[in-house]
Structure 1
Amino acid sequence: MKSTQTANPFQGVGKMNRLNNRVFTLLVWIIGAAAILFIFGLLFLILEAGLPNLTWDFLFGLPSEIDEGGGIGPTLINSFYILGISLIIAIPLGMAAGIYLAEFAPDNKLIGFVRICVEALASVPSIIFGLFGIALFVEFFQIGLTILGGAVSLAFLNLPVLVRVTEESLRAVPKELKSASFALGGTHLQTISRVLIPAALTGIVTGICLVAGRAFGESAVIILTAGVTTSGEMWDFNLFSPGATLAVHLWYVQSEAIVPDAQQIAQKAAAVLVFVVLFINLVFRIPLWLKARKMKG
């Protein structure tokens, strides 16, 4: 007598899918763990070589051209100074352009071409912006290699990234929030400032973190627009002074300097550079953590 039961045609497929899912999950865990271990290993090697040997004399001392024992004081101050000026210029312009493209720009071929241009500029090598800075500040305005030229060139470098990050973060906000704001009588400006920007703040701050870290460690743009030297003063805020930064000083010491302790200076400067970039990311993340904690409370 034949059995009336029929085999489930999806039984074998289900087992294979579960096996593939487990294999894929294991593969993702392995790759993720390997990437994290590599990053932590790289950070450990850099910080372990230079961080224990740091002194206040090194952090706030003047660089030396011949004698050993020079510091990084002026270059460290210039790094923060140029970074601050570039962010003051880039953040308002980048956010304004991103808000315009996300909320006000018409959906036509011209705006589509503008988006393509912005994306292309975001991937252009930094040395191209350095060459643009030379053409603008050194040749056209004839002000030489200055802090001002370096800061504005860095702002140009970071501007396309901030525009795209702001636009995409605003577009990622659920449309229901925007509709609810309009339904409650909010104007377009109120909706953007009180609903869309707070909801997209995590993505915007992440973009600012990325460009700030990139700007602090940038060397090609600074070499071409601000030079490889400083004014020799510790606290020189003259915008028309030479503006070598810590990244430039690290490159110079490693490749051109003749001081006997060039290797030790490079190791300590690299440790400071990595530590400051991590600190910048932490500082920008603190408001997001406070906001998340406030929402949970």
Structure 2
Amino acid sequence: MNEMTRSRKMKRSILYNKSATFGFYALGVLVLLLIFWLLYSILSKGLPGLSLEFLTKLPEDMDIGGGIGPVLFNSFYILFLSLIISIPIGVGAGIYMAEYAPNNKFTEILRICVESLSSVPSIVFGMLGLAIFAEYFQVGLTILGGAVSLAFLNLPMLARVTEEAVRSVPNDMRNASYALGMTKFQCIRTVVLPMAMQGIITGICLVAGRAFGESAVILLTAGLSTSGEMWDFNLLSPGETLAVHLWYVQSEAIVEDARQIADKSAAVLVLVVLLINLLFRIPLWITNRKLKR
């Protein structure tokens, strides 16, 4: 009787295992198909009409044939400024939380606050940036305000991802480095950070893609217009980005070719986000390949 019961349980376990395996593979294939369908739907409409003139020409308010030159430049410019601010602070905060912060109630409360800020809607950070730059400092809607507000938006996620990446490094590696006479900072710099770099880069990719495609924060802090120049590095100039321009063209523009401009802008936005992730990961692939050799 016991052998029959064990045999039934074994067959049931094998059946459950096969069903779960099939289900997870099916979910994975479904997600991939959904992603490819979204990419095809966006890129197939916009890629055929892309040209260098469209990427460098000024937008038009009334006439057809406008481009996205200044808004595309503003997108990269604001992204670059926001990463300069958020990466050192966010990565530093994550390292502090993982390596230096004591295990007490204050640290737990701080960690809960960081996690809560990661889920705050982006429009809240936009309202914060509007209150700081437009109302308190009275500088108006500017590239500087948009970049700093985006940095505020990215800091909690970057700090949390960095902390988890640093914590995932085995303690044996730390103990081995201490046994060799390394200081704590030397251990972090030469052992912990290289091993946690893949997770940190993943976090940077996430915040960079989110920042490049963000519209609510930019709309409230950088505005819905540009200075009218292609290469405007003035931090106090208005800083409409590609995501905001896409929203405006799709919903408010009165030009005849608004739909075509929106399709091409969406394709450029998706391509740039994909390229950002690729560029950040190329150094990791090269490093991993060297280590395997």
Work out whether 1:89 is the aligned partner of 2:103: no
Aligned to 1:251: 247
Match of 1:183 among 176, 179, 184: 179
Aligned to 2:234: 238
Aligned to 1:42: 38
* 3-state SS of paired residue (2:250): helix
Cα distance in 2 between the residues matched to 1:97 and 1:56: 41
Match of 1:123 among 119, 124, 127: 119
Q: CA deviation at 1:111?
A: 1.1
Give the direction of change, closer, same or farther, for the CA distance of 1:40–1:6 in structure 2 (3 Å limit): closer
Aligned to 1:264: 260
Structure 1 length as normaliser, TM-score? 0.97
Cα distance in 2 between the residues matched to 1:95 and 1:6: 57
Paired residues, number: 293
The correspondence of residues 55-66 of structure 1 with structure 2, limited to 5 A, is: 55-66=51-62
Work out whether 1:31 is the aligned partner of 2:27: yes
Amino acid of the residue matched to residue 261 of structure 2?
I
Cα distance in 2 between the residues matched to 1:23 and 1:189: 49
Amino acid of the residue matched to residue 13 of structure 1?
K
Cα distance in 2 between the residues matched to 1:6 and 1:238: 81
Structure 2 length as normaliser, TM-score? 0.99
Cα distance in 2 between the residues matched to 1:6 and 1:12: 10
- TM-superposition CA deviations, 1:75-132 (whole Å, max 9, x none): 0000000000000000000011111111111111111111111000000000000000
Q: CA deviation at 1:31?
A: 1.0
Match of 2:166 among 166, 170, 174: 170
Give the direction of change, closer, same or farther, for the CA distance of 1:6–1:272 in structure 2 (3 Å limit): closer
Cα distance in 1 between the residues matched to 2:290 and 2:136: 51
Amino acid of the residue matched to residue 256 of structure 2?
P
Match of 1:134 among 130, 134, 151: 130
* 3-state SS of paired residue (2:3): coil
Q: CA deviation at 1:7?
A: 3.1
- TM-superposition CA deviations, 1:121-167 (whole Å, max 9, x none): 00000000000001100001110000000000000000000100010
Identity of counterpart residues, as a percentage?
63
Q: CA deviation at 1:6?
A: 7.1
Cα distance in 2 between the residues matched to 1:6 and 1:162: 55
Work out whether 1:160 is the aligned partner of 2:156: yes
Amino acid of the residue matched to residue 215 of structure 1?
A
* 3-state SS of paired residue (1:200): helix
Aligned to 1:54: 50
Q: CA deviation at 1:9?
A: 3.6
RMSD, matched Cα: 0.9
Amino acid of the residue matched to residue 274 of structure 1?
V
Match of 2:109 among 113, 129, 138: 113
* 3-state SS of paired residue (2:225): coil
Cα distance in 2 between the residues matched to 1:258 and 1:142: 31
Work out whether 1:221 is the aligned partner of 2:217: yes
Cα distance in 2 between the residues matched to 1:175 and 1:31: 35
Cα distance in 2 between the residues matched to 1:6 and 1:242: 78
Q: CA deviation at 1:8?
A: 5.0
Aligned to 1:192: 188
Q: CA deviation at 1:255?
A: 0.8
Cα distance in 2 between the residues matched to 1:145 and 1:172: 41
Structure 1 spans left out of the alignment, 5+ residues: none
- When Rg is computed on C-alpha atoms for both structures, the one with the higher figure is 1
